[in-house]
Amino acid sequence: MNQSRRPGPSTQGRPRLLALGTSMVTCLAIGGSVASIGVPSPALAATTTCTVCGANLINNPGAEVGQGTKLDTVVKVPGWKLTRGAFTEAAYAWGGGDLTATTPGPKDHGKNYFYGGPDSGISVGTQTLSLTGATTSIKAGKVTATLSAWLGGFGGQGDWAALTVSFNGINGAVLKTLSVGPVTVGQRKGVSEMLYRAATTTVPAQATTAV
């Protein structure tokens, strides 16, 4: 899984960018012929040995694990690897942050949101997810994946966030990619806001991991 975000112009002496919030802000759910987010399908459970189907596979999908920063500093995001820039998580309670618990977006914001961090043009966080719990169904070409996220930006700035998954084979070769976002400043109508985006695809028959 790969989250990336880019800040807009500097505001009050620091580049601002924001991304996501809520406990289910990012989601990669796989299922049989129909992928469901967070809710296992009874029909699927009865017809397959897939042990990961119908659940969100992303670790710490909404930045709820860990202590979100309340300063313009970088803190470790549990479950995610910082691979570029200053990818971090911020608390909605941070008075100097870009989002608050009342920012338009998901119904349940939770306590934290993913944040691109200070002084970074592009920030990226990644994680690698095993698909071994669905190997038989994947090889049969019967598994779909739904990728979803609440994505946003700050005010009239051109900052953005995106979520991408690469389905990789046993040798690490990328077999297929799926992305949601970015949400543009025009789509947000120049206000701080998070909008829901989702996309679905069939998981490649040789896929063993999602990155």
* pTM reported for the whole predicted model: 0.82
Digits of tens for pLDDT over the chain (211 positions)?
666 554 433 223 233 333 333 333 567 776 543 333 222 333 333 345 677 788 888 899 889 999 999 998 999 999 999 998 999 999 999 988 888 889 998 888 899 999 888 888 888 899 999 998 888 888 888 888 999 999 988 888 888 888 999 999 999 999 999 999 888 889 999 998 999 999 999 999 999 999 9
Q: How far is residue 46's CA from residue 95's CA, in Å, rounded to a whole number?
A: 49
Query: Strands, DSSP E only, in 58-181?
Result: 81-84, 88-91, 112-115, 123-126, 129-130, 144-153, 160-168, 174-180
Q: How far is residue 192's CA from residue 18's CA, in Å, rounded to a whole number?
A: 9
Q: Which two tokens stand for residue 34?
A: 């129909």
